[in-house]
Chains A and B, each alone.
Chain A
Amino acid sequence: MPNVMIRKNEAGGLLFYVAKKDMEETIASVQTDTPETWGGEVELTDGSRWYIDPISPPPAFPTTLRFKRADD
């Protein structure tokens, strides 16, 4: 359950940054991304999948959230 900082990059996409793992990836898709809720399964450009319980209202980025691995 790593702490993940989500921030916007210059192009407006979302970056997924895990400080401990020194990992910075772009988010490819988010399961729920509506004006009311944000979250669910998140897929990164490297193919890994992560899960977070949907948050409503959507958080203001940048912010730190706790994600779970959804791979297995």
Chain B
Amino acid sequence: MTALTREETQNLIQEVLEVYPDKAKKDRAKHLAVNDQSIEQSKKCITSNRKSLPGVMTVRGCAYAGSKGVVWGPIKDMVHISHGPVGCGQYSRAGRRNYYVGHTGVNTFGTMNFTSDFQEKDIVFGGDKKLAKLIAEIEQLFPLVKGISVQSECPIGLIGDDIEAVSKKMSKELEKPIVPVRCEGFRGVSQSLGHHIANDAIRDWVIGNRDGDESFATTPYDVAVIGDYNIGGDAWASRILLEEMGLRVVAQWSGDGTLAEMELTPKVKLNLIHCYRSMNYISRFMEEKYGVPWMEYNFFGPTKIAESLRKIAAFFDETIQANAEKVIAKYEAEYAAVITKYRPRLEGKRVMLYVGGLRPRHVIGAYEDLGMEVVGTGYEFAHNDDYDRTIKEMGNATLLYDDVTGYEFEEFVKKVKPDLIGSGIKEKYIFQKMGVPFRQMHSWDYSGPYHGYDGFAIFARDMDMTINNPCWKSMQAPWQKPAAGEAEAIAAAS
């Protein structure tokens, strides 16, 4: 099928909206748009970061998911207490595959679940005493823990527990940082506010810890990788490129990151932001308070990697700039081989994406390097500034959908007929049953890394493996297939 024209896409949106009652139709219409590259500001064409409509299927998370699951969770040498009932922590435990090195349960705690397991009596009488006891227990059982964060679940805000007071008291007692995070799930419309709250907690409780301490020897080439959660080893695949360029990566936020790394971040020369949505707040703060500039980069696909490496190098002297060219040249044979191998198999395939954070715009370049085209993209929890950045990346007359509902997404797929969908686990089996190849793009469908040159090879292999899987030819039962001669006749007629 050829690409849809602007009118066709507009009609498609209208058609899909037809089933809603008037009020819902009016609201949802604001979240669906046809991309127009001439628009500078996304707020003219799309509304985002609004409360989801009751009654529709949304895949958004909550503020707790944004704070514990995304920002704080991967910091490996801290214990993150899911303060409240047991479920929130247990059902989200280790699901995001934030890889790290260390001995789990000894000096790292990434995949473990710590919870205060609230019972009825804790709701009635308050859970502050339990929290204090829990913190003391953690210190006794895991003496190598570097710090503790208290991630509030909904009931904490509802019953008004004073977790700040407990944290301060215990922090003094244990002489370790204890960070209370007010990320109750009901705050905000999606996990996005959780990111912001988590960033603010880092700002208030972590960043200033080493102010005035000059014992850390800095170099002119110190950088921090911010907003890379090391999903399937992403941050490692990014880090080696930066190190080969001659830069020193002081901190990884927060995949495979430590508390000490975060405390040292204000001393770096440049902050490199991969996930803008979840970590821009802290970068802005560090720029204002410590004068550390920040820049966004993109390590998906060789075109964007080369572009980003040059942009990063431009902040430093000529040695680094020369090294950047050397790094690009070094990997050229490697990624050219990947493209030669997979491009013929993937050329012209059309992709629809619906994920969160940075991926709906960042992976477009990687698909284009493989000769594929992204015909629709959308974010679960983006704000206007994300769409500002997306409009330029997407082709004209492609679909943009914000916080798309289950129904809308299915209808779009039926009409647009993409060759591949990249979205989350909740969408995966619906679309696979519809016979559309699908990749779970939240944690790379249990594969990865996808960042960097090494990641690109895996990315290309995975996309090929999914799209060209022989199973898609077996979607129809044998007795429903047209007879041998009939199939050719149909093919010839169309």
Binding site for B on A (CB under 8 A): 5, 7, 17, 19, 22-24, 45-46, 62-64
Query: Can you name 13 A-B residue pairings with CB atoms under 8 Å?
Result: A5-B284, A7-B284, A19-B281, A22-B383, A22-B384, A22-B385, A23-B384, A24-B388, A45-B40, A62-B284, A62-B287, A62-B288, A64-B288
- Give the complex CA separation of A19 and B199 in angstroms: 12
Query: In the complex, what residue of chain A is closest to B287 when comparing beta carbons?
Result: A62
Q: Does B41 contact A (CB under 8 A)?
A: yes
- Give the complex CA separation of A23 and B40 in angstroms: 14
A22 surroundings in chain B (CB, below 8 A): 49, 383-385
Binding site for A on B (CB under 8 A): 40-41, 49, 196, 281, 284, 287-288, 383-385, 388
A23 surroundings in chain B (CB, below 8 A): 384
Query: In the complex, what residue of chain B is closest to A22 when comparing beta carbons?
Result: B383
A17 surroundings in chain B (CB, below 8 A): 284
Which of A17, A24, A46, A64 has the most chain B CB atoms closer than 10 A to its own CB? A24
- Give the complex CA separation of A8 and B281 in angstroms: 16
B196 surroundings in chain A (CB, below 8 A): 19
A contact patch SS: strand
Q: A19-B281, A22-B49 are in contact. Are A5 and B288 (CB under 8 A)?
A: yes
Q: A19-B281, A46-B41 are in contact. Are A24 and B287 (CB under 8 A)?
A: no
Task: Assess the A7–B287 pair: CB atoms within 8 A.
Answer: yes
Known pairs A19-B196, A22-B384, A62-B284; list 11 more (Cβ under 8 Å).
A7-B284, A7-B288, A17-B284, A19-B281, A19-B284, A22-B383, A22-B385, A23-B384, A24-B388, A46-B41, A62-B288
B284 surroundings in chain A (CB, below 8 A): 5, 7, 17, 19, 62
Task: Assess the A63–B288 pair: CB atoms within 8 A.
Answer: yes
- Give the complex CA separation of A46 and B40 in angstroms: 10
9 smallest CB-CB distances across A and B, nearest first, come from A62-B288, A22-B383, A62-B287, A24-B385, A5-B284, A63-B288, A5-B288, A64-B288, A7-B287
Q: How far is the CB of A59 from chain B (nearest CB, A)?
A: 11
Q: How far is the CB of B390 from chain A (nearest CB, A)?
A: 14
B385 surroundings in chain A (CB, below 8 A): 22, 24
B384 surroundings in chain A (CB, below 8 A): 22-23
B383 surroundings in chain A (CB, below 8 A): 22
A63 surroundings in chain B (CB, below 8 A): 288
A7 surroundings in chain B (CB, below 8 A): 284, 287-288
Which of B284, B384, B388 has the most chain A CB atoms closer than 10 A to its own CB? B284
B49 surroundings in chain A (CB, below 8 A): 22
- Give the complex CA separation of A49 and B464 in angstroms: 52
- Give the complex CA separation of A45 and B41 in angstroms: 10
A24 surroundings in chain B (CB, below 8 A): 385, 388
Query: In the complex, what residue of chain B is closest to A23 when comparing beta carbons?
Result: B384
B281 surroundings in chain A (CB, below 8 A): 19
Q: How far is the CB of B280 from chain A (nearest CB, A)?
A: 9
- Give the complex CA separation of A63 and B289 in angstroms: 8
Query: In the complex, what residue of chain B is closest to A24 when comparing beta carbons?
Result: B385
Query: In the complex, what residue of chain B is closest to A7 when comparing beta carbons?
Result: B287
Q: How far is the CB of A41 from chain B (nearest CB, A)?
A: 21
B287 surroundings in chain A (CB, below 8 A): 7, 62
- Give the complex CA separation of A5 and B288 in angstroms: 8
Query: In the complex, what residue of chain B is closest to A25 when comparing beta carbons?
Result: B41
Q: How far is the CB of A7 from chain B (nearest CB, A)?
A: 6
A45 surroundings in chain B (CB, below 8 A): 40
Q: How far is the CB of A8 from chain B (nearest CB, A)?
A: 9
Q: How far is the CB of A26 from chain B (nearest CB, A)?
A: 10
Q: How far is the CB of B386 from chain A (nearest CB, A)?
A: 10
Q: How far is the CB of B290 from chain A (nearest CB, A)?
A: 11
A64 surroundings in chain B (CB, below 8 A): 288
Q: How far is the CB of A16 from chain B (nearest CB, A)?
A: 12
Which of A5, A22, A63, A64 has the most chain B CB atoms closer than 10 A to its own CB? A22
A19 surroundings in chain B (CB, below 8 A): 196, 281, 284
B388 surroundings in chain A (CB, below 8 A): 24
- Give the complex CA separation of A46 and B385 in angstroms: 14
- Give the complex CA separation of A23 and B49 in angstroms: 12
Q: How far is the CB of A25 from chain B (nearest CB, A)?
A: 8
Query: In the complex, what residue of chain B is closest to A64 when comparing beta carbons?
Result: B288
Q: How far is the CB of A12 from chain B (nearest CB, A)?
A: 13
Q: How far is the CB of B271 from chain A (nearest CB, A)?
A: 13
- Give the complex CA separation of A62 and B292 in angstroms: 10
A46 surroundings in chain B (CB, below 8 A): 41
- Give the complex CA separation of A7 and B295 in angstroms: 13
Q: How far is the CB of B470 from chain A (nearest CB, A)?
A: 46
